[in-house]
Each structure stands twice: as structure tokens, then as C-alpha cells.
Structure 1
């Protein structure tokens, strides 16, 4: 008889923190994980997910984690990103930003074409190509969960949600494991090093604070948290206005936009106000919220659901992995400049192509914490991921459903 154990929020977050700590300890013992930039959260989170899956398989007990904190963690993270973005960064993005927009669009198109080709080759219902394309890969769990009911209602695919979640889970795991090694390989092959010795926007150096420099006190944290909360509250207000005129977008996008507005307006209007842009305190909060978000996502994965994944889905997913890796090596890295920033973007693009936006930033955070800062990579990917990716992907999904 199946038994479901619901863990409250405090227990879920505690286990997520322990998973983070476990991943860090394992990476210290298995130096290859550290060298190749596999995020600690991925190592620890996968171990917890495997333990929970083994428990389910052997005893029938299912552990359900309370994931209600993920939404606020995502809000925190993207608000932090917004506070770091200057309009001059956007306008000066120029050709690299244009290239990254085109590359992201190109990947979405390729993923859907590959899905359609393989589904057609196996004489499966064409509607499956929507589920097995950019929806679950570039979109991740959130997009898969959001669109699956529509696909079920429109095409009559009863297990649309299960298929979407299975593909998104495979993508999250693979994207998390491949991003760091790809960046490490590119850096080693082309002998790339950072030109930014200062602490990164996200992904604090592992020796942060141990040398007595860049220490953070509670005043820094409280001031930064206050500004983050103001931006989030304004984001809620913007979200309400948009919904009133029948425009829907993720809440974290509204928060990011308002954070950008604050970050650019306050220094001009009130020069005496100390803003947290590119400070250790803001980077610390970014790291904490991002890693806890991904830790909760990883430990809650029900891996036993992948046991029913069909050969077609596995073949298609393998094809997608090969496609994304080749696309990064042949297109993304060369077009983004073949420099250190391009290698960090490659790590993030792996997350975008196979996992989620959170996976992308986790990959880049892990890479920069080891090899050094890359403000350009974070700024460019922030703009594309927060202001373009979901809109473009949703537009393609809506087109395919026609």
C-alpha cells in the first residue's frame, strides 16, 4: 500500500540546505567535480532525489516536499539580477546581445524541428512534438506544467503532464551536469581567463571573506533586503496593472523590471542613497536564493517516474543533448567572441537549452566561483532569459498548437 509523507516547509528547506552542504563536502573529496564546475547543489540534490526514489521503489513511501518557498526564492533572485542591470549595460550590449537573442531563437526553432522529425519518423501523434520540443527543454518544469493541460484539452493526450515533466526532469539533470564541464573544456582548450578580478555579480568566490576583505555586516544585508523588498512590492503592483489590461507574464519578470527601474532611477534622483548593485551583500543573497531554489527543485524530483519513459522519448532526448552541445560549440561560443565571457555564456546556455533559467545561472555561478567573474555573461543572459526567452518560447508553442 502506497504511503505519502508530506514534509512541511521548514523540513523541506532544512533538507535542501543539507543537500547543498553534502554536495559541497563531496566536491571537496572528489576534486574532479570541483574542477569541472559541477554545482554543489546538483551533486547533493541528486543524491537526495535518488534516496527518495529508492525509498519509494523499495517501500512504496513517497516523500512530498513543500515547495511553496520556491516562488519567493525565484523573486529574490531575479530582483537581485535586476538591481545589477544598468540601462547602459542594455544599450551597450550591442552586437553580442543581438547575437544571443538570435541564438536563443534559433535553438528554440531547432528543438521543435527535431522533435517533429523524430515523432514523424516513429509515426506518433504529431501533437507529441509540442511536448517533446522547446516546451519542456527550454521552458523547463514551469512551462511544461503550465502548457500540459492545454495540450491535453486540445489534442486529447491524457498523459501530457507526465511526459512533459519526464522530459523536463531529464533536461534539468543533464543541463546541470554538462554546463560546467563544457565551460571548463573551452577555457582549458583556448587558455581563457577572466579580465574581472572583482567579486562576481553571482557566484561568490569560494575564499570570500577568508582574507578579511569584502566582509559583509548585518547593516549591508538589511539595507539590501529592504531595497529588494521594495522592488518586489513594486513588481506586484506592476503585475496587477498588467493583469487589469489582460497581459500576463511571470511575476519575477515584473519584479526584475521594477528592480532595473529602481537601480537606474535612484542614483540619478537621490545620489546620496547607497544602492546595492554589484556588492558582496547582493551577490550573497543572489547565490543563496538561487541555490535554495534549485536544491528544492532537485530534491523533489520523483525519479521513479522516468522508469516509464519510452524509447522514443529517450532517443529524442539524447538527440536534443547532442544538438545543444554541438550548437554551443559550433554557434554560441564562436559568435559570442570565443573569449572567457563566451565560455561562461556557454555554461549558462547549456542550462537554457536543457534545463531552465535557474539551471543556467547556477551553471554560470559555479563556473565563475572557480574561474573568476564575468559581469558581461550574467548581464546578457539576464536580459535574454528574463525579458525574451519565456515570451519567445510561449509564442512558438502557441504557433505549434495551431
Structure 2
């Protein structure tokens, strides 16, 4: 069988084409837009299917160089580290801290559910982590990153990327479907008690519409160069931190040191009252994530999902049931049992099962009808962003425990 081998330049170029293909299809599909399926996921899956058909038919196989995939993964998670701003948490007050605490509790339970059910089916419990907070609280980017980490010689978990990305795709859809219906009865009860103000609905429509628009910002070359240099500093010093972490005897992903240094450097910059290029670093992170995720999807071995289909489905059903029960009976009450709590809970379901985009869309659906909830629009995006930082640490702890 003919084998087409692509080097790292061919691979990253093809990843860009795959991204554009996914973006084009999303613009043409209301269904894909509704559930906020990322463009790299769509385009990459199409390539993976074509490659699978070619390989299975004996026609040819396409081999991808993963050198730049690993680098882009590290760059992305370094920008995640840069998001951990202590002053930002303080400005958000107790609510952001509470949302962050709840996120840590939920992602831990997601992993406990995944590993427990995986063990019952006699499969590697670390695959259960892949169908836990890696895919759900983490989303497609974390799924692709930790999937590759789990498949590395350090852990040796077969099929981890395919399983994690499949679960993450399910999570994106579930996060949208579960949000509104879960809080519908609670909101109806509040409405009957006249606890929802209706006089600002029109204003909220404008507010909600802007929250999930493509983010725009003004910049210049100096700010982008500064962002690049801060990123380079975090990557370089992160290697030293990774070596120190390795000396503890605990296995951490290769990017963990850079992620930690991203957080340290950001807070040093803010403490010295220097201008911090947050939008620029976020943009670099988005580019890195898009290319990295496209490459990860392109390299999927889809046939491995067949043997694991039943355990994965059972775990995902359990995750959905847990999220519904926790959100309806616990989280809503913890957050205050009022309208803001209902909106926040809906948003929390969005990012705890899928992504921040799902969270914002869930909240927008409610606020357009019932009125504004400014606290939710502040706490949920920030809490969701910070949860990625702690998620990486807790995932690592679970993987090491079962290794």
C-alpha cells in the first residue's frame, strides 16, 4: 500500500486548509453553528474519515509529522497559564472564587465517574479520565492535548486521543442541550413569585448579542512583540520548572512548567503595573489551538472507537445525569436560588460539559427572554477560564494515580 509521508511543514499547511474547510462548512450549517462545533474539529474529522477509508481499502495511507503539533500544544497551554490573574479574581469578588471552587469539585467528580465506570468495564481507568474532565470541563483542546500525552511512552494509553475527542464533541452538543431545559422549571418558579425583572429585556438583547460575537480589539506591533517575548520567556523558563517538577518523581505533561510560568509572569507584570498584552496573548493561543486541534483530528484512528463504544456511551450518560442532578438540586441553591443563580447555573452547564461559547449561548437564551444578569456574564467566563488551569493539575494527579 502506498504511503504518503508529510513533513512538519506539509502537515501544518494542511492543518490550515482543514481549518478553512471546517470554517466554510460551519458558515453553511445552522446545526454546526447552533452547537458551537469548532472549525478544526469539523475539518479535521473529514480528513480523518477520508484517511480511514483510504487506509481500510488498501489504496494509500497518509502519515503526518507531529513535531509542530507538540510545539503548538505547549504554546496553547502556556497562554492558558497566562490567564491565571490573581488581581482579576480579586476584582471579580467572591462569586468568581465560588464558581472556580465549584468547577474544581465538578471536574474531580467527572473524573471519578469516568474512572469508576471504566474500571467496571475492565478498560484502562485513564480512558475514563479522557471521558471525564479532559473532554468535558476541558473541551476539545484539552482532549487533544491530554490524549497525545496519554498515548506517549510515559503513560502508554492506547486510543486516548480518539476517545477523548469523541467525548469532547458529545460534550459540546450536550452542554447546549442541557443548559436551558435544566433551569426552565426553576425560572418558571421565580417568574411566578415575581422575582424576575422584565423591564430591561431589550437592553439585554443587545448585551447578550455581543457576548458571543467574534471578539475584536485594537493592537499594534509593539504590543504583539511584547506578547511574543513574554510567551518566549514562559516557554524557556518553563523547561526549568518542568525539570524541577520531574525531580519530584511525579509525572507531569511536558507543558506544565510553561503553564505555571505563564501564570507567574502574568502576575509579576500586573504587580509591577506594566501594560499586559492580554488580547494579543489570547490571539496567539487561539491560533495555536486551532492548528494543534486540526492536526490532532487529522491523525485520529477512528476505527479504535468501535471496541470502546459501549463503555464510552455509558460513561457519557452518567456524566449527563450527574450534571443535571448537581446543577438542579445543588448548584442553583449554592449560588443563591435567585434569577442570577439560574443564569449562572445555565452557563456553568455550558462550559462544564462543552466550552465557554456554549456557556455564553446558554445564558444569552435566558437573558434575552427574562432580563439581564450582569453577575453571570462576569463570573462564568472568568471562572471557566481559570478552571482550565486547575483542570490540568487535577488531570495529571488522576493519571499518575492510575499509572
TM-score band by shorter chain is 0.7 to 0.9
**Structure 1 residue 321 corresponds to structure 2 residue 316:** yes
Q: Is the 8 A contact 2:241 2:257 kept in 1?
A: yes
Q: What residue number does 1:74 align with?
A: 73
**Partner Cα distance (1:238, 1:194) in 2:** 46
Q: Is the 8 A contact 2:118 2:125 kept in 1?
A: yes
**Partner Cα distance (1:371, 1:283) in 2:** 23
CA displacement, residues 298-350 of structure 1 (integer Å, 9 cap, x when unaligned): 111122343xx33xx32221111212222233324762755555444433322
- State the shift of 1:177 in Å: 4.8
Q: 2:111 pairs with 99, 108, 111, which one?
A: 108
**Partner Cα distance (1:26, 1:289) in 2:** 21
Report 1:180-259 matches (<5 A).
180=176, 182=178, 205-206=213-214, 208=215, 214-259=217-262
Q: Is the 8 A contact 1:145 1:161 kept in 2?
A: no
Report 1:50-89 matches (<5 A).
50-89=49-88
Q: What residue number does 1:3 align with?
A: 2
**Structure 1 residue 364 corresponds to structure 2 residue 356:** yes
Q: 1:385 pairs with 376, 382, 388, which one?
A: 388
**Structure 1 residue 130 corresponds to structure 2 residue 122:** no
Stretch of structure 1 that moved more, 59-68 or 167-176 = 167-176
Report 1:85-104 matches (<5 A).
85-90=84-89, 92=93, 93-104=96-107
Q: Is the 8 A contact 1:24 1:40 kept in 2?
A: yes
> In the superposition, relative to structure 1, how do residues 231 and 131 fare at CA in structure 2: closer, same or farther (>3 Å)?
closer
- State the shift of 1:267 in Å: 3.1
> In the superposition, relative to structure 1, how do residues 21 and 163 fare at CA in structure 2: closer, same or farther (>3 Å)?
closer
**Partner Cα distance (1:146, 1:89) in 2:** 30
Q: What residue number does 1:290 align with?
A: 289
5+ unaligned residues in a row in structure 1: which ranges? Answer: 120-125, 153-159, 352-362
Q: What residue number does 1:357 align with?
A: none
CA displacement, residues 233-292 of structure 1 (integer Å, 9 cap, x when unaligned): 2212222233345454223332222222222222333x3x32113x3x233212111111
- State the shift of 1:82 in Å: 2.6
Q: Is the 8 A contact 1:136 1:143 kept in 2?
A: no
SS in 1 for 2:57: helix
SS in 2 for 1:77: helix
> In the superposition, relative to structure 1, how do residues 258 and 43 fare at CA in structure 2: closer, same or farther (>3 Å)?
same
**Partner Cα distance (2:152, 2:221) in 1:** 45
**Partner Cα distance (1:141, 1:291) in 2:** 11
**Partner Cα distance (1:264, 1:231) in 2:** 12
> In the superposition, relative to structure 1, how do residues 39 and 349 fare at CA in structure 2: closer, same or farther (>3 Å)?
same
Report 1:165-180 matches (<5 A).
167-180=163-176
- State the shift of 1:99 in Å: 1.6
Stretch of structure 1 that moved more, 142-151 or 102-111 = 142-151
Q: Is the 8 A contact 1:148 1:164 kept in 2?
A: yes
**Partner Cα distance (1:219, 1:195) in 2:** 33
**Structure 1 residue 301 corresponds to structure 2 residue 300:** yes
5+ unaligned residues in a row in structure 2: which ranges? Answer: 135-142, 188-195, 336-340, 365-375
Q: Is the 8 A contact 1:136 1:165 kept in 2?
A: no
Q: Is the 8 A contact 2:130 2:147 kept in 1?
A: yes
Q: What residue number does 1:122 align with?
A: none
SS in 2 for 1:59: coil
What root-mean-square deviation, in Å, do the aligned CA atoms of Structure 1 and Structure 2 show?
Answer: 3.8
Q: Is the 8 A contact 2:108 2:394 kept in 1?
A: yes
- State TM-score, norm by structure 1: 0.73
- State TM-score, norm by structure 2: 0.73
CA displacement, residues 133-190 of structure 1 (integer Å, 9 cap, x when unaligned): 22565455665665679999xxxxxxx8445455335324434554455557779997
- State the shift of 1:10 in Å: 1.4
Q: Is the 8 A contact 1:36 1:184 kept in 2?
A: no
- State the shift of 1:51 in Å: 1.5
> In the superposition, relative to structure 1, how do residues 217 and 288 fare at CA in structure 2: closer, same or farther (>3 Å)?
same
